[in-house]
Amino acid sequence: MRWPHSLQIRLGLAVGVVVTLLWVASALVTAQLMRGEMNEVFDSALQETAQRILPLAVGQILGREGVTGAQTVPIVRPHEEHFTYVVRDASGTVLLQSHMAQPALFPPYSGPGFYDTPKLRIYSDSALRGSITISVAEPRTHRDNAAHEVQMGLLAPLGLIIPLSLGAIALVLGLGFTPLRRFRLRLAARGAADLSAVETRDLPAEVQPLGETLNALLARLDAAFQAERHFAANAAHELRTPLAGAIAQTQRLRSETTDPASAARAGEIEAGLKRLTRLSEGLMQLARAEGGKLRNEDMRDLRPILRLMAEDTARLAGAPPVQLELPETEVRSDLDPDIFGILCRNLIENALRHGTPGAPVVVRLTQAGLLSVENDCDPLPAEVLAQLGNRFERAPGSGVGSGLGLAIVHAIMERAGGTFDVKSPAPGRERGFVARADLPLRLHH
């Protein structure tokens, strides 16, 4: 037999079995002790009956005249006779007997005391120097039935007591494991990037070291991730100045050279440096998305931020203005404005960069906090869509971009508690691409 994996069920079964065995054993031992006490009481009753009847029987026998043979005590009223007796003389002749006595079942008198036969428990005594004897008998079945009733009286309530005990055990164990369930729920409610310490003060003493060990592991993981993010952010930040200088020198070289081949090569170098600059900016944004604070105490309207990012991104890309569809009322959120700006910029840049040239880019924000950015393009296969949220993943045939834009958006939404998905073709169309971010808003009415 394999024990269940649940510790609560294991403890419940073990304690339940032990309690059941203890109840049954206690009932059986009590029944056995009571059987002994009952035997003593019944033996005392036999002896007392013999000593009370014998003087009366002697007086009746000596006082009768002209009566021979056994005399049966008359019945006053019908009743169940548990004790029977016979009074005999020294030769064993029955002189007096109870109305239900069977003299053949009584062994010959052999002295005062208790005797057992297969069917009877007998006490015998004598008077007048052994000339008159009495034997009082009790059927052994009477004692067996009484003992059986006592055992059933002790065992029968266990049919109710044991289930109640098992229910109480299950309830107590359930209450005892409540801190563990709360601890598990606190862990399950965390985001993937939340590595802060978990509250362990309400854990039982036996599990407290486990919680502290888990918190120590989370602290080491957080330190390792923070070191990785800081390295990426610092490296990207340190690259900005030399990259800007290299781009300026390249542009100056292009303006000063008269050799077309040198000018073309300088242009390629400038384009490569600009791609490296965009990559470093993307790395800084990714580090901010994965390690920075995403939500504030203050609530702000997201519409002005989205409008500014849409206009600025389109202007820097040299593209026509995007089509903005905003609700008339405020969309207030505790999302950090800089983080929301990074999210909007990356979505719009991705749409402008990979959309059909000249085709409009539509940006929508609903009152419920659903931000969608749609552009026109050839539909993308499902296997390509599944990879677009990964770092440095580009659509097939796309040689532009760093492959970080959607990864940054995905990281922001994951840490902020929202959802992000992409679809192609756009819903209701045969072409197009749409990226949707369901922002974790707290709406104020």
Encode the chain (445 residues) as per-residue pLDDT tens digits.
565 667 777 787 888 888 888 888 888 888 888 888 888 998 898 999 888 988 888 887 776 655 555 677 666 677 677 889 999 988 888 888 888 888 888 999 988 999 889 889 999 999 888 889 999 999 988 888 888 888 888 778 878 888 888 888 888 888 888 888 888 888 877 765 667 788 888 888 878 888 888 888 888 877 776 776 666 666 666 666 787 777 788 887 778 787 788 778 878 887 777 776 666 666 666 666 666 566 777 788 899 999 999 999 888 888 888 899 999 898 888 888 888 888 898 889 888 888 888 889 999 999 888 999 999 888 888 777 777 766 555 555 554 555 677 888 888 888 777 888 888 888 888 888 999 998 877 544 3
Q: Reduce the secondary structure of 102-139 to three states and give it as a string.
A: CHHHCCCCCCCEEEECCCEEEEEEEECCCCEEEEEEEE
Distance separating alpha carbons of residues 429 and 276, to the nearest angstrom = 36
Residues paired with 333 in a beta bridge: 300
* pTM summary value: 0.47
Q: Inter-axis angle of helices 337-354 and 303-317, to 10 degrees?
A: 40
Q: Inter-axis angle of helices 260-291 and 337-354, to 10 degrees?
A: 140
Lookup: tokens for 351? 């749409």
Q: How distant, in Å, are the alpha carbons of 8, 54, 402, 435 from that of 61?
A: 77, 10, 128, 120
Distance separating alpha carbons of residues 97 and 87, to the nearest angstrom = 6
